[in-house]
Structure 1
Amino acid sequence: MNQPIDEDVKTLHSMGYAQELARRMSGFANFAISFSIICILAGGITSFPQALSTGFGFQVFVGWIVGGCFALVVALCLGQIGSAYPTAGGLYHWSSIFGGRGWGWATAWFNLIGLLFVVASVNVGVWYLFRDLVLAGVFHVDVGSLTVDPAQDGNAHAIRVQIAAVSLITLVQALTNHFGIRLTTMLTNFSGYLIFVVAIVLTATFLIWGATWDFSRLVTFANMTGEAGGGLIAQPRSAFVAFLIGLLYPLYTITGFDASAHTAEETHNARVAVPRGILHSVFWSVLFGLVMAASFVLASPDLAAMAKEGGSAWFNLFNTLPAPTWLKNVLAIAIVVANFICALAGLTSTSRMIFAFARDGGLPGSRIWRRVSARWRTPVAAIWLGAGCSVAATLYSPAFSALAAGCALFIYVSYAMPIAAGFFAEGKRWTQFGPFRLGIWSKPLAVLSCMGVGVLIYAGIQPPSDVLIDYICGIVLFLTLLWFGVERRRFKGPPIGAEITRRAHAIEAAEEAVGQAAATDAHTPSMINPK
């Protein structure tokens, strides 16, 4: 293993960074962390009602194919860049190299906000799944008072309970991340296998005990916006717009695969493993998710009635499925566990983004957030900042649909930014490539990616997610003022050119500090903060 590690460190040094994090992840672990964040048992279940309430069975099945193919195009583009520049900063670092420090700085913020929405939305989903599958389904508890519904008098109580539950869930995930990448990797590796097994068993369960085998449902489109779909998409929209809104179902699910890039500095043979982890996580999620989503449509006794049930549609279908009780109980618990690890992996990715951005001085209080534990070799300050901010995001909007739309929108915008910059930089500022190359397909796929993200932006701000418009406008205005008012003069960006050479001594000192601290303080979680 020494030779790949040496080559990885050499590559990292060539980009101006020290090997501070522990490089303990295998190629499978790199794949598993992205596959765990995508987690078709998360968005593939919790966002299912949104697809059904926009374009019926066609939206679920054909919409998944369209959204999945688009995600693969984006993954190809990011994989090519990640193969050339395997750093924890990922998207931010790439945008800075291709488009300048201002473009990179903006990318960092969009990616960071998107990642926070990932953790927030999935943890809200964990609570929903635990409430409706385990409490209601397994233990038969009446969860009516725990359901967030603005039309209910007890809504404020339900929101308080949800915030407390999400805070507790996030606390456990932060503690798990705190105590080293090895523990997190063990869980995400387990999750990789768990998702495959549970998705297969869940699909088989729906097909064996509920399937109508009416395959025409999968290609039948009906505009279910407004009252037709139970009001989940409250305002009636045109059929075309309804289909675009429904694409948030696969794209909210198939997101977060930049985790393979964010953990590049902890992965062996990163220039090969990172693009492979990105592409494989997306491909297998698209394939297994498609079959699983189709089984939900085929298993409904009355698809039109199911669409009118709104956000509870999938849970009602599962809980009334005439499968053995013990099997449903095991599946319910496994789904909750998979979703918990999904958000755990999301927090891992978020903390690495915070660490990398702070390492280059991009965050207020960067000296704090860039610190690495000498004992655990993890960015513990960044982990706890990410955990706190993700809980705060649920205070802004406890509604799952808004958090999910915000997640997909911000993440995919941050994906498009380095891809767009790379389109113009390829062959000019971008001359360093890795083992994974797209060749003549590079620029056409980049154009397709950026156009698709433009469509996603339009879909993401449609009702009921139009609450995001003010949020997005406020963020853009704040970041614009912050950049031109302060950061344009202060922020230097990642090391480029001669700055990399000047950092040689600092890199050596940083790695020596890591080694000395780990050797002399093995029992105390001291912090290192090399300059």
Structure 2
Amino acid sequence: MSAVENKTAEDGPDEVLTGDERADARLNELGYKAEFRREMSFLGVVCISFTAIGILTGMSSAYQAGLFSGGPVGLFWGWNIVSVFMLLIALALAEICSAYPTMGGLYFWVCRLKPDVPSLGFFTGWIYSFAMVFTGTSGNLSTALYLASLIEVSAGKTLTRLEIAAMAWAVNILSGIINTVGTKAISGVSTFNLWWTLGGTFVLVITLLVKAPHRNDAAFVFTDFENFTGWGNKGFVFLLGLLQAVYTLEGCETAAQVAEEAHRAEILAPIAIVASIVGSWFIGLIYMLALLFSIQSIESVQKTSYAIPIAQIFYDAAGKRLACLCIFVVGLAQFLAAITAFTASSRLFYALARDDAFPFKGRFMYLNRFQAPVYGVWLSVLVGCIISAAYIGSAVAFGAILSSAAIAVMLSYNMPIICRVFWPQSMDTKGPFSLGRWSRLVNAISMLFTFFVCILFVLPTATPVNQLNMNYAVVAIGGLALIVAVVWFSWGRFHFHGPVSTIGKDKI
């Protein structure tokens, strides 16, 4: 029996326990011994999810997708529509997180909700883990692309794909080093990124609105429709533009990955999940409006030679020097956001290994003196560097791999939500964060929207379709699913039978 359990048994009611002891007691009830020190505050947990969403970075990196598929009207109205649905998804996930505050997150929730189908939890865990690795890799490459754009704008030198890939490898390794230092470092990075994002948004908004040679009117911002896709159906083009907002707002669930390192995780983690979406919605709206009012020419952005198209908007609106400042602000935020993806993936590898769902259990459960699961961290770095190498040969192939990450994240969101919709009694206990009688409706709407988005993500985004504009995301996500299926049938089904208690010897 653990020290927490002894204290509960001896002292009686939960009121005698401190917040951390109560959180550890709940973890014990779920079958796990507390292995991590609870060093993360509420602000730290909120910042983890907020940083993972990366509102400045996601919107900046994917801005052209919405600009070319619907234009201002699609960007503005699409952002608000998608934000409502992503908030519903966050509420659904937060309710489950409150009941099961463990670092396995989506994976553990599925295992707990459908223990009779262990393959469902296995697939969720593996696909989501590598989705986080791909997300971190995408963020680190984007950081390299911001650096390349900074060099292009400031010095007029165009970098090769090999040079950009080399910078991406360096950024991957630096992300690994920071994650190796552990919880306090990640919490500090995330907290810094919150203030950097708030301050950076202020700087970007003021710079764009003050320096833009021409400011667009409200009619342009709220009603102008643009279509560079080749598709003739305006409704379909508008829907394609929604993907920019979905891509930007993914990441709120990252708070669950540090639940075992947070104070009062059953309360703070679910609140952080919801708060990160609400905050990102508001900040993203302000930033988007500044971009729409200050953009000088959509055609200029469409024809840009810069590594990141948003750099053209900055250059046209603010000139060379201030454009460099804007690129630096977003680029640093991008790097800080990418770090947390490897934080999530390393914790997921730890959680999977703890339950015999990942090979080399002893290694991936090893914590260094900074309380970091270092083998998971450096596996993420290794895979990231390998994938980044694909960019040298083909930017299209690399883009397909990383587009599959967005689909994999949404599919992973949907697994516990599906369980809640079709088996509403499967959650045997409720946490302090509960949706009450609205729970099933929120989950049902979230499930339908997630299915819709996953279909949208694999459709061709331009026509006529050729080898350069083909959406290969379906091939990439299919390849990942095939790999996981092979691992399950050749290894997983013989080793994984559900979460394994680290207190006793029985399966949870």
Whichever residue aligns with residue 256 of structure 1, its letter is G
Kept after mapping to 1: 8 A contact 2:459/2:471: yes
Kept after mapping to 2: 8 A contact 1:252/1:405: no
**Which residue matches 1:166?**
168
Looking at structure 1, the residues matched to 18 and 437 of structure 2 have their Cα atoms a distance apart, in angstroms, of: 32
**Which residue matches 1:395?**
389
Looking at structure 2, the residues matched to 312 and 266 of structure 1 have their Cα atoms a distance apart, in angstroms, of: 36
Looking at structure 2, the residues matched to 162 and 366 of structure 1 have their Cα atoms a distance apart, in angstroms, of: 35
Deviations 1:28-66 (A, max 9, x none): 100001111111121110110111111111121111112
Secondary structure of the structure 2 residue equivalent to 1:321: helix
**Which residue matches 1:432?**
429
**Which residue matches 1:175?**
177
The residue correspondences of 1:213-292 to structure 2 (distance < 5 A) are 213-220=216-223, 222=225, 224-226=227-229, 236=231, 238-292=233-287
Kept after mapping to 2: 8 A contact 1:248/1:408: no
Looking at structure 2, the residues matched to 459 and 59 of structure 1 have their Cα atoms a distance apart, in angstroms, of: 15
Cα offset, 1:23, TM superposition: 1.3
Whichever residue aligns with residue 170 of structure 1, its letter is N
Cα offset, 1:390, TM superposition: 2.2
Looking at structure 1, the residues matched to 24 and 49 of structure 2 have their Cα atoms a distance apart, in angstroms, of: 22
The residue correspondences of 1:110-509 to structure 2 (distance < 5 A) are 110-132=127-149, 134-137=150-153, 139-143=154-158, 146=159, 158-210=160-212, 212-220=215-223, 222=225, 224-226=227-229, 236=231, 238-309=233-304, 312-322=308-318, 325=321, 328-373=323-368, 375-396=369-390, 398-399=395-396, 401-427=399-425, 429-463=426-460, 464=469, 466-495=471-500, 502-503=504-505
**Which residue matches 2:30?**
15
C-alpha RMSD of matched pairs (Å):
2.4
**Which residue matches 2:93?**
78
Whichever residue aligns with residue 350 of structure 1, its letter is S
1:50 aligned to 2:65? yes
Looking at structure 2, the residues matched to 491 and 465 of structure 1 have their Cα atoms a distance apart, in angstroms, of: 38
Secondary structure of the structure 2 residue equivalent to 1:432: coil
Looking at structure 2, the residues matched to 491 and 237 of structure 1 have their Cα atoms a distance apart, in angstroms, of: 49
Looking at structure 2, the residues matched to 130 and 312 of structure 1 have their Cα atoms a distance apart, in angstroms, of: 9
Looking at structure 1, the residues matched to 331 and 339 of structure 2 have their Cα atoms a distance apart, in angstroms, of: 12
Kept after mapping to 2: 8 A contact 1:62/1:218: no
Looking at structure 2, the residues matched to 21 and 130 of structure 1 have their Cα atoms a distance apart, in angstroms, of: 36
Residue 501 and residue 25 in structure 1: after superposition, are their counterparts in 2 closer, same or farther (change >3 A)? closer
Whichever residue aligns with residue 335 of structure 1, its letter is V
Whichever residue aligns with residue 86 of structure 1, its letter is P
Kept after mapping to 2: 8 A contact 1:56/1:222: yes
Cα offset, 1:485, TM superposition: 4.4
Whichever residue aligns with residue 406 of structure 1, its letter is S
Residue 322 and residue 371 in structure 1: after superposition, are their counterparts in 2 closer, same or farther (change >3 A)? closer
Cα offset, 1:301, TM superposition: 2.2
1:88 aligned to 2:103? yes
Looking at structure 1, the residues matched to 269 and 420 of structure 2 have their Cα atoms a distance apart, in angstroms, of: 18
Kept after mapping to 1: 8 A contact 2:44/2:190: yes
Looking at structure 2, the residues matched to 324 and 263 of structure 1 have their Cα atoms a distance apart, in angstroms, of: 41
Looking at structure 2, the residues matched to 259 and 191 of structure 1 have their Cα atoms a distance apart, in angstroms, of: 15
In terms of mean alpha carbon deviation, does 361-370 or 167-176 score higher? 361-370
Residue 465 and residue 416 in structure 1: after superposition, are their counterparts in 2 closer, same or farther (change >3 A)? farther
Cα offset, 1:241, TM superposition: 2.8
TM-score (norm 2): 0.88
Cα offset, 1:219, TM superposition: 3.0
In terms of mean alpha carbon deviation, does 362-371 or 112-121 score higher? 362-371
Looking at structure 1, the residues matched to 170 and 309 of structure 2 have their Cα atoms a distance apart, in angstroms, of: 27
Residue 366 and residue 252 in structure 1: after superposition, are their counterparts in 2 closer, same or farther (change >3 A)? same
Cα offset, 1:460, TM superposition: 1.1
Deviations 1:396-431 (A, max 9, x none): 45457435532221111101111111223322x312
Residue 444 and residue 255 in structure 1: after superposition, are their counterparts in 2 closer, same or farther (change >3 A)? same
List alignment gaps of at least 5 residues for structure 2: 1-15, 461-468
Looking at structure 1, the residues matched to 156 and 226 of structure 2 have their Cα atoms a distance apart, in angstroms, of: 35
Looking at structure 2, the residues matched to 361 and 172 of structure 1 have their Cα atoms a distance apart, in angstroms, of: 30
Kept after mapping to 2: 8 A contact 1:252/1:407: no
Cα offset, 1:319, TM superposition: 1.7
The residue correspondences of 1:52-67 to structure 2 (distance < 5 A) are 52-67=67-82
Kept after mapping to 1: 8 A contact 2:200/2:330: yes
Whichever residue aligns with residue 197 of structure 1, its letter is G
Looking at structure 2, the residues matched to 65 and 288 of structure 1 have their Cα atoms a distance apart, in angstroms, of: 12
Cα offset, 1:312, TM superposition: 4.8
TM-score (norm 1): 0.84
Cα offset, 1:131, TM superposition: 1.4
**Which residue matches 1:5?**
20
**Which residue matches 1:524?**
none
Secondary structure of the structure 2 residue equivalent to 1:258: helix
Cα offset, 1:113, TM superposition: 2.2
**Which residue matches 2:113?**
98
Cα offset, 1:468, TM superposition: 1.8
- Aligned-pair identity in percent equals 25
Looking at structure 1, the residues matched to 490 and 171 of structure 2 have their Cα atoms a distance apart, in angstroms, of: 38
Deviations 1:69-115 (A, max 9, x none): 12111101000001110101000000011123211111112211211
List alignment gaps of at least 5 residues for structure 1: 147-157, 227-234, 508-531
Looking at structure 2, the residues matched to 174 and 306 of structure 1 have their Cα atoms a distance apart, in angstroms, of: 34
Looking at structure 2, the residues matched to 297 and 252 of structure 1 have their Cα atoms a distance apart, in angstroms, of: 19
Kept after mapping to 2: 8 A contact 1:83/1:275: yes
In terms of mean alpha carbon deviation, does 190-199 or 397-406 score higher? 397-406
Whichever residue aligns with residue 426 of structure 1, its letter is P
Looking at structure 1, the residues matched to 74 and 401 of structure 2 have their Cα atoms a distance apart, in angstroms, of: 21
Residue 221 and residue 421 in structure 1: after superposition, are their counterparts in 2 closer, same or farther (change >3 A)? farther
Cα offset, 1:395, TM superposition: 3.5
Residue 18 and residue 501 in structure 1: after superposition, are their counterparts in 2 closer, same or farther (change >3 A)? closer
Cα offset, 1:324, TM superposition: 9.0
Whichever residue aligns with residue 139 of structure 2, its letter is V
Looking at structure 1, the residues matched to 135 and 502 of structure 2 have their Cα atoms a distance apart, in angstroms, of: 33
Secondary structure of the structure 2 residue equivalent to 1:372: coil
Looking at structure 1, the residues matched to 221 and 499 of structure 2 have their Cα atoms a distance apart, in angstroms, of: 48
Looking at structure 1, the residues matched to 257 and 232 of structure 2 have their Cα atoms a distance apart, in angstroms, of: 38
Secondary structure of the structure 1 residue equivalent to 2:69: helix
Deviations 1:122-146 (A, max 9, x none): 11111111111x3233x32412xx2
Residue 112 and residue 237 in structure 1: after superposition, are their counterparts in 2 closer, same or farther (change >3 A)? farther
